[in-house]
Amino acid sequence: MMLCKLSLKNIKKSIKDYAIYFFTLILGVAIFYVFNALDSQTVMMNVSESTAELIELMMTMLSGVSVFVSFILGFLIIYASRFLMKRRNKEFGVYLTLGMSKRKISLILFFETLFIGIISLLVGIGLGVLLSQVMSLVVANMFEASLTKFAFVFSTSACIKTIIYFSIMYLIVMIFNTISVSKCKLIDLLNGARKVEKVKLKNPYLCIIIFIISCIVLGKAYHMVTVEFLTLQEATDILKPIIMGVVATFLIFWSLSGLILRIVQSLKKYYYKGLNSFTLRQFSSKINTTVFGTTIICLMLFITICLLSACLTIKNSMNANLKALAPVDAMFTVNMNMDKYYDDFRNYGYNDSQIKNSHYTAKEMFQLFNFDITSYFKDYIEVNTYGTPDLTMNHTLGSLLNYVRTNFPFLAFDTKEPIMKISDYNELARFYGIDEYSLNNDEYMIVADFKSIVEIRNLALENNETITLFGHTLKPKYNSCQDGFLEMSSQHINTGIVLVPDNVIDEDYLIQNHLIGNYKTTDREEIINIENNINKLTEYEKANEYLLPSGSTKLAIKEATVGLSAMVTFIGLYLGIIFLISSAAILGLKELSESSDNKERFKMLRKIGTDEGMINKALFRQIAIFFMLPLILALVHSVFGIMFAVKILEVFGTDELLPSIITTAIFIVIIYGGYFLITYSCSKNIIKERY
């Protein structure tokens, strides 16, 4: 009982010093609960069966991510306990001097960890429950679902999972603390705070050479993930610049740890101003011993920035794309004249009957199944696409083919280019509400919206490469691809459609017919019923003889888009916030540990007449530099990391990138900046003169 009281008294006495520890634990518990309680929020939502399946998939993925998150938080808690142990070395030394056994000290730590764990769990879960109520509105908004009724929800499964995971973490910490106490020596505990760490000055010339080499390696890695992006096709190709970036980051911090003090010492006017010499030597001492840790924090911040920016961009862009890239209710496509290219289609799983009977338009094919799809449309159009082995990317690239094949070997050079009559495309454009175009009899153009492929095609168009199609030689009207598309989607997937004058087309090379329309009804349930009836047609025996049109509908695209964007966003936010908290907490705890070690040095400054304002200013600068250094390099990495992400995300569109970056910046300012302020406040309290 006495040891319990002593443990509670110690916690109460050191509550200010424990602020970051408590704050991190509570925040970690709350976030863990909130993201694992998402499924309980969907109970109140009116969602379709397909959306419910996506939510279930998302929860399965979040459960897997939670295991990874628990390892990160477990490492963080163990790291924090090391700080707390170090912070109290002298206290434990006094206990031993007074005759207390190491077993009793271990019991004190056991009770302290137990009480801290219980308090953190209770407060964290309480905060998580409150935040999860707000999250229900966010979830409903993300899945574009209506809340049938709002009710206070408590997730028992999330609570149990949180308690189990964090109990295991605290148990490991208790074992770690017991082992640490059993190994400690009295003299080390009493004199630990008086040990002076010498600043070892590295060879400046070696540091300069290493720094320059590191920058060159980092520059090469940046070049590979941006300029040489399209050549990175294998996993090993992508791994190479990552490894180069990690090694270069470590070496940059290693070289800076030997250069910063040397450089500033040469600026004598600045170095000897105020407490700059004290601040910089303190900083140099810390960075010398924490190069590896600073590297890890920098990389975690880099991952956080890229992860948050990318996942928020995907969500915003996909939602914006719905309006632009799915402008009508439905599109049904059927392959035609498959018997002209028998082997090609047989390889895709079509049977002989389906290939033989591929001479019906989409509208006619539905009628064969006694289903009049047009009766459900208020308006519709029919357009065709054509294809021939005589017009592939090999032909459209012209004289640049060898260059492109060498630099971009992954492209499907032998695939038939989709061809459309200019009149058909303009009819489609009017129906979609997008730009129409015109062509002279000797001209062609390409419409596309997949940026990477557009850049490649533009090389040929800028070179004014001509094509020969059905006996006609055509020159490009434009020296670049024009924006446009045929297939509805939530992504920019059009790699190129060749538009030609109507008189050029040979109807024998018709390969696809597209039926595009808007439903008479806007009622969601009625639309679902229509589309379910279409899906049931595959059950007919005729489906083995005739190939039913494949469908792409706005409703299906919307549900898939909303589900995917929500899944990506929640997983990205979960990992991003945890990484950000971990980075900031590790830095904060490291700084508090240093402040505890340097307490005697600050006391010495007071003895020689330094006022409290100068001491606080020096402390502020010291902590600010330590927080800013990994963040600055992480921001530099992120510029190129986001450029790399843009290449990957271009299929979704990157128009919403700036708002996502701004949102990410807000997260960093609030969480990272919050930890900085808490660290400064706690450090100031630690070094404060006690009267």
Q: Angle CA(88)–CA(93)–CA(98) in degrees, nearest 5?
A: 130
Q: What is the dihedral angle through the alpha carbons of 450, 451, 453, 456, rounded to the nearest 10 degrees?
A: 160
Structure tokens at 574: 């979960």
Q: Give the model's pLDDT for residue 418.
A: 95
| Spatial contact of 554 and 528, defined as CB atoms under 8 Å apart | no
User: 204 to each of 27, 69, 208, 252, 265, how far by Cα in Å?
Assistant: 43, 40, 6, 13, 12
Q: Which two tokens stand for residue 442?
A: 């000797």
Question: Residue 97: CA atoms inside 13 Å, Cβ hemisphere, count?
Answer: 11
656, 313 in Cβ contact below 8 A? yes
The per-residue pLDDT for range 567-607, each reduced to its tens digit, is 777 888 888 888 888 888 888 877 777 777 677 777 777 77
pLDDT for 44:
45
Question: Alpha-carbon distance 306 to 245, whole Å?
Answer: 15
Question: Are residues 687 and 615 in contact, defined by beta-carbon separation less than 8 angstroms?
Answer: yes
Q: What's the CA gap between 600 and 384, in Å, rounded?
A: 83
Contact 414, 368 (CB under 8 A): no
Give pLDDT, residue 659: 81
Q: Which two tokens stand for residue 562?
A: 């909303």
- Report the 10 Å Cβ neighbour count for 163: 14
Q: Which pLDDT belongs to residue 691? A: 41
pLDDT at 374: 92
Residue 438 pLDDT: 94
Domain ranges of the chain: 1-192, 227-324+557-691, 370-539
CA distances for 296 relative to 29, 117, 242, 265, angstroms: 23, 27, 14, 28
Show Cβ contacts of residue 471 under 8 Å, excluding neighbours closer than 6 positions: none
**Segments of the chain scoring below 70 in pLDDT:** 1-18, 39-55, 80, 82-96, 98-99, 101-102, 105, 136-152, 180-202, 229-236, 258-289, 341-349, 597, 609, 649-656, 689-691
CA–CA separation, 332 and 326 (whole Å): 13
